[in-house]
Amino acid sequence: MDFLVEFLIAFFLVVSGIFGLVGSFGMVKLRDTMQRLHAPTKATTLGVGGVLIGSMLYFIFVKGGFSFHEMLITLFLFLTAPITANFIAKTYLQAHLRNSDLPQTGRKYGWSLFDDPPSEKPDR
């Protein structure tokens, strides 16, 4: 039993380490900002997720108590990571790309950085 728990915890720690490493390597290897943006979104999901699962198992089976903190870290990560990524993407778009570099929206209005929103707001 002890061996199994230890093995599982070590397994999740190693998995998260590998994904953290690959994510960091991606930051070095990929070419432009938009491509590099994909690397940290990976490190925050499986990279951090593995450590959190390992930590949860440790507290449940070794310390004999349940800890809510891992759940909260997951929640906060899922709330904040997409917003940071979105900010970086928008800043990059604003600084380096023009409307003609992007695909059409397929709607009457263009992308929000380059086009004004409809004047009267539809009732939502």
Partner 1 sequence: MLQRIFPHPLLSLTLTLVWLGLVNKVTAGNLVLGVALGIVVPVMTAPYWPNRPRIRRPLRVAEYMLVVLWDIVVANVQVAMIILFKRNSDIHSKWVAVPLELTSPEAITVLAGTITMTPGTVSAMLSADGGAILVHCLHTDDPEGVRDEIKARYERRLKEIFE
How many residues at the interface with partner 1, by CB under 8 A? 52
Angle (CA) 83 87 90, round 5°: 135
Are 57 and 5 in contact by the 8 Å Cβ rule? The answer is: yes
35 near partner 1 (CB under 8 A): yes
List 63, 95, 104, 120, residue binding partner 1 (CB under 8 A): 104
| Least distance from partner 1 to the Cβ atom of residue 117, Å | 5
90 near partner 1 (CB under 8 A): yes
103 near partner 1 (CB under 8 A): yes
List 45, 55, 57, 61, residue binding partner 1 (CB under 8 A): 45
Dihedral Cα 78, 81, 84, 86, nearest 10 deg: -70
- Closest to 48 (Cα-Cα) out of 26, 27, 69: 69
39 near partner 1 (CB under 8 A): yes
Count Cβ atoms below 10 Å from residue 117 Cβ, excluding itself. Answer: 8
86 near partner 1 (CB under 8 A): yes
d(CA 41, CA 84) in angstroms, rounded, equals: 10
- Closest to 81 (Cα-Cα) out of 32, 113, 45: 45
Residues that bind partner 1 (CB under 8 A): 18-19, 22, 25-26, 29-31, 34-35, 37-39, 41-42, 45-46, 49, 67-69, 71-72, 75, 78-79, 81-83, 85-86, 89-90, 93, 101-113, 115-118, 124
